[in-house]
Structure 1
Amino acid sequence: MQDIMTSWEVLSKLVSAGNSAELIDYIDTLSPPETARAISRLTSEEQQRLLSILSPEDAAEVIEDIPEVQAAEMVEEMDIGQAAAILEELDSDHLVDVLAEMDEEASQAILNRMDQEDAEEARKFLEYEPDCAGGLMISEYLAYKADDTIQDLLDDLHQNREEYADYHVQYFYVVDKDERLIGVLRMHDLLFPRRTTQLAALMIPSPLRVKDTTPLKKLRDFFEEHEFLGVPVVDEDDRMVGVVLPGAVEEEVSKQKTRTFLRLSGIIGGEEFRTMGLLSRSGRRLAWLTMNILLNVIAASVIAMYQDTLAAAITLAVFLPMVSDMSGCSGNQAVAVSMRELSLGLVRPSELLWVLAKEARVGVLNGLVLGLLLGAIAWLWQGNIWLGVVVGGALAANTLVSVLLGGMLPLVLKRLKLDPALVSSPLLTTVTDMCGFFFVLSFASAVLPKIIGS
């Protein structure tokens, strides 16, 4: 029986044949995730040939189905003229996302070959942070003057129907002669009035809007409060510059969660896919791992300072990882609470003392409970109460330190404009390990004869 070909095997065969119509017909049968999966399994040469066979419009549709990181890699390898032609066909938000993932030299080369108006618009969008209204908005919207009539609007729709067919048109916006937003029209507002009626008589005046600098959190709150299909974006002079769709906000929220997860997992150079180049993937991981080597050397140096104590009471080696690990867990809980409260706006970086006061009480209580438990275990296991006092006391002290540090670090790093999600974890791990080793070994050194003498 003939084996069933995988989607990428079929795609590879169609690319070799070079028939663009058959290629598009087959890609249309695939879901966007399967399209991305199939294209990612092609060789670099096949990917380049695929994009070159398709028309710029069809190639742009394919690029919209794959992650921006992979799209950027594919486009960077193309002839600049071909790449510019394809990117011109992307929606403004997709265009900026792909350009942002490219090397600056490559993106500027492509922008220089694009239509001047499109290139200038893209450069303007690239100036915004990706997680604000300016970075999330689309520039494809329909705006008319207040003295235009319904007939003027309908004539414009008819004359530009092919171009507007790809727009996410949910509302019509009304602007003055200086492009300042003054009103909004819903589609059904145009159905019944006379066609000679001016838009100013039908529009909802002074519509809700957001500034181009509005952060992601406020955009999310806006769409949770208002069930709009889009919100107009204005600049500091109240001129309309774009529209933010709720889907774009939800997508960016999801991206931020993914980026945070990747960073906490040790992937700090950006998204990684197994189809990416070996050196690129290796570099993304080594950036984290090499830093951890240095941090662990610092923690291990404490053990070296007390190696005589450890050699005399080797039983302590069993409890060192337990003290550091338990304290690290307590510290990470405090980090999580601080990160969550920062994201919700429930705490500010300046409220450090308030956070420390709250965490200190939890740290003392949990430290005593955990210290008594581990101390009791050590005592029952070895029959030496002093070993229990050393181990339990070290865990109690280290729990307090880790909880205070875990609650404080995200606020301090946020104030220094560093990424709390990225830096908090390695710093916390290093300090809790170092302090845990120090507490156990220094306490043990103070009562070493009593531990050894058992």
Structure 2
Amino acid sequence: MKTQTLEQILPDIKKTLQTNHASEFQLVIDEFQPYDLARIHNLLSDIEQNQLLELLNDEQLADMMQEMDYPLQIEILAKLSKDRTTVIINLMDNDDLAILLEELSPEQKDALIRGMSAEESRFIRNMMKYPPETAGRIMTNRYVWIPQHYTVTEVVQKLKTYVSITETINYLYVVDDDKQLIGVVSFRGLILAEPDAAIVDIMHTRVHAVPVDADQEEVARIIQQYDFVAIPVVEQDNKLVGIITVDDILDVVIQEADEDFRKMNATSGKTIDFNTKATVAAYRRLPWLILLLFIGLISGSIISQFEETLAQVVALAFFMPMIAGMTGNTGTQSLAVIVRGLTTKQMDKSLVYRLLARELKVGVIIGVVCGILISLIAYFWQGNLYLGLVVGISLIATLIVGTMAGTIIPLVLSRLKVDPAVASGPLITTINDILSLVIYFGIATLFLSYI
């Protein structure tokens, strides 16, 4: 049977909402995922949205809210009774709840946390102590840990009790009496083991864990390198305090990529989307652009220094935008490669040297090919061999310089513990504009008597 799209099934959903029959409504949405419910909610009118909230059970509502952005979450919580709000907050995953609480005022935050169960409240308060974008802020306490003295049969019995509230059971973490992490058992290993086998005999003692203060990008890198679906989080004494699951890491990867993209385009670190007001969007973009405006004035002063050269050979002005544009483009390309490499790899000295050597070769190859091409164009257009040589040599030199600038600047920033993405595309382009004009007019001045 062909699967219906949400748009096709929406009329049936609206019909069941109007009849207000909970059992009929549950039959319609029985196989929907939380993301689907969130999309359905957004397609409904205000009245229908309220009806939807009434007919969803608590688990469905909590799951649906976790697929929504902060403003919608707050809007929905405002429609719920105090008692139901407490239930929903307790059902939400810790990491998603921490993100929601981060956006609230201290009074609202305390009010919601006080309504949670004692254990969940204690865990959330502890999570909120860790800095944003660290392992401690994206971990969850909904995992299965096993005392070291358990047998396989005892583990299975515990799983039956806790499986409904855990985020994943792919890995079971073994702890000692002080709750220090000493081993891990895969679900597959548990199934294949004998029922009376001791858990310490089948566990793996070499466990990859991350400290609570580890940067979320480092956590993502480890999960990607080892193909984990979850990773344990420990405090300094190796005490197990939580786990991070791969679905949360996917959110981190998207978030970090979005941040890098905005930085590389010289926009604010804050999100600018389709709903952002024009004044807010302009405010977030202006600081970088004003800085680049003043840096760009240097380009004008450089041109003024070579007025005599430009006046004698007006044809040089024709190739000036092309020289500057090509240099900026090649610098931005190298920047994108380096920022991506710094995000996915640990850069050691040998790798940096290989990278610099490769980008230098890339710059030479691109420069020579483009330089020869533009030399021929300049020669046939003006019938002046020396003009062709000036433009060609300038382009070769500026493309090499532009490529190396786009490579070296982010590497230096990374070495200084500064986010390399701040070497944004517009910044690299502006710097390369200045360098290209100096090189271009410098070479042209040297050949001035020939052209």
Q: 245-254 vs 137-146, which deviates more?
A: 245-254
Contact persistence 2:220–2:252 (CA under 8 A): no
Q: Secondary structure at the match of 2:232?
A: strand
Contact persistence 1:350–1:411 (CA under 8 A): no
Q: CA deviation at 1:333?
A: 3.4
The equivalent of 1:316 in structure 2 is: 316
Tell me the alpha carbon deviations over residues 170-212 of structure 1, each in whole angstroms, 9 at most, x when there is no partner.
Answer: 3443322211123445557479856xx5845655262523133
The equivalent of 1:420 in structure 2 is: 420
The equivalences for 1:44-443 within 5 A come to 51=53, 54-66=56-68, 68-69=69-70, 71-72=72-73, 74=75, 81=82, 83=85, 85-100=87-102, 102-103=103-104, 105=106, 107=109, 110-128=112-130, 133-148=135-150, 153=155, 156=158, 160=161, 164=164, 167-185=167-185, 189=190, 199=198, 203-204=202-203, 206-213=205-212, 230-264=230-264, 268-274=268-274, 276=275, 278-279=276-277, 283-284=280-281, 287-288=284-285, 291-303=288-300, 306=303, 308=307, 314-345=314-345, 347-348=347-348, 359-360=359-360, 362-364=362-364, 366-441=366-441, 443=443
Contact persistence 2:181–2:238 (CA under 8 A): yes
Tell me the alpha carbon deviations over residues 283-321 of structure 1, each in whole angstroms, 9 at most, x when there is no partner.
Answer: 346523652354145325423553555567554343222
Read off the aligned partner of 1:391 and give its amino acid letter: V
Q: CA separation of 1:199/1:192 partners in 2, compared to 1, >3 Å: closer, same or farther?
A: closer
Q: Secondary structure at the match of 1:173?
A: strand
Unaligned runs of 5+ in 1: none
Query: 2 CA distance for matches of 1:371 and 1:191?
Result: 66
Q: CA deviation at 1:429?
A: 0.9
Query: What is the count of residue pairs matched by the alignment?
Result: 439
Q: CA separation of 1:13/1:109 partners in 2, compared to 1, >3 Å: closer, same or farther?
A: farther
Return the TM-score normalized by structure 1. 0.75
Q: 37-46 vs 420-429, which deviates more?
A: 37-46
Query: 2 CA distance for matches of 1:40 and 1:313?
Result: 63
Q: CA deviation at 1:56?
A: 3.9
Q: 43-52 vs 108-117, which deviates more?
A: 43-52
Return the TM-score normalized by structure 2. 0.75
Q: CA deviation at 1:136?
A: 4.5
Q: CA deviation at 1:420?
A: 1.7
The equivalent of 1:39 in structure 2 is: 41
Q: CA separation of 1:414/1:79 partners in 2, compared to 1, >3 Å: closer, same or farther?
A: farther
Read off the aligned partner of 1:371 and give its amino acid letter: G
Q: CA separation of 1:54/1:392 partners in 2, compared to 1, >3 Å: closer, same or farther?
A: same
Query: 1 CA distance for matches of 2:317 and 2:34?
Result: 53
Query: 2 CA distance for matches of 1:346 and 1:151?
Result: 42
Contact persistence 2:152–2:190 (CA under 8 A): no
Q: CA deviation at 1:233?
A: 3.3
Contact persistence 1:174–1:182 (CA under 8 A): yes
Tell me the alpha carbon deviations over residues 156-180 of structure 1, each in whole angstroms, 9 at most, x when there is no partner.
Answer: 556x46x735542234433222111
Q: CA deviation at 1:108?
A: 5.4
Q: Secondary structure at the match of 1:164?
A: coil
The equivalent of 2:3 in structure 1 is: none
Query: 1 CA distance for matches of 2:367 and 2:17?
Result: 64
Q: CA separation of 1:319/1:169 partners in 2, compared to 1, >3 Å: closer, same or farther?
A: same
RMSD: 4.4
Q: CA separation of 1:91/1:208 partners in 2, compared to 1, >3 Å: closer, same or farther?
A: same
Query: 1 CA distance for matches of 2:81 and 2:264?
Result: 36
Q: CA separation of 1:378/1:80 partners in 2, compared to 1, >3 Å: closer, same or farther?
A: farther
Q: CA deviation at 1:221?
A: 6.6
Contact persistence 1:15–1:49 (CA under 8 A): yes
Query: 2 CA distance for matches of 1:52 and 1:312?
Result: 80
Q: CA deviation at 1:423?
A: 2.9
The equivalences for 1:23-38 within 5 A come to 26-28=28-30, 30=32, 33-38=35-40
Tell me the alpha carbon deviations over residues 308-367 of structure 1, each in whole angstroms, 9 at most, x when there is no partner.
Answer: 555675543432221112112322333234334423436348987876566455545643
Query: 2 CA distance for matches of 1:400 and 1:83?
Result: 60
Contact persistence 1:209–1:232 (CA under 8 A): yes
Query: How high is the sequence identity, in percent, across the aligned residues?
Result: 27
Query: 1 CA distance for matches of 2:384 and 2:113?
Result: 74
Q: Secondary structure at the match of 1:88?
A: helix
Q: CA separation of 1:137/1:6 partners in 2, compared to 1, >3 Å: closer, same or farther?
A: same
Q: 441-450 vs 165-174, which deviates more?
A: 441-450
Q: CA separation of 1:294/1:211 partners in 2, compared to 1, >3 Å: closer, same or farther?
A: closer
Tell me the alpha carbon deviations over residues 378-401 of structure 1, each in whole angstroms, 9 at most, x when there is no partner.
Answer: 222122344334433432332232
Read off the aligned partner of 2:98 and give its amino acid letter: V
Contact persistence 1:15–1:23 (CA under 8 A): yes
Q: Secondary structure at the match of 2:174?
A: strand
Contact persistence 2:266–2:289 (CA under 8 A): no
Q: CA separation of 1:77/1:338 partners in 2, compared to 1, >3 Å: closer, same or farther?
A: same
Q: Secondary structure at the match of 1:232?
A: strand
Q: CA separation of 1:346/1:229 partners in 2, compared to 1, >3 Å: closer, same or farther?
A: closer
Contact persistence 1:349–1:414 (CA under 8 A): no
Contact persistence 1:12–1:46 (CA under 8 A): yes
Contact persistence 1:80–1:110 (CA under 8 A): no
Contact persistence 2:266–2:424 (CA under 8 A): no
Q: Secondary structure at the match of 1:209?
A: coil
Query: 2 CA distance for matches of 1:341 and 1:191?
Result: 40
Q: Secondary structure at the match of 1:306?
A: helix
Query: 1 CA distance for matches of 2:301 and 2:47?
Result: 54
Q: Secondary structure at the match of 2:241?
A: strand
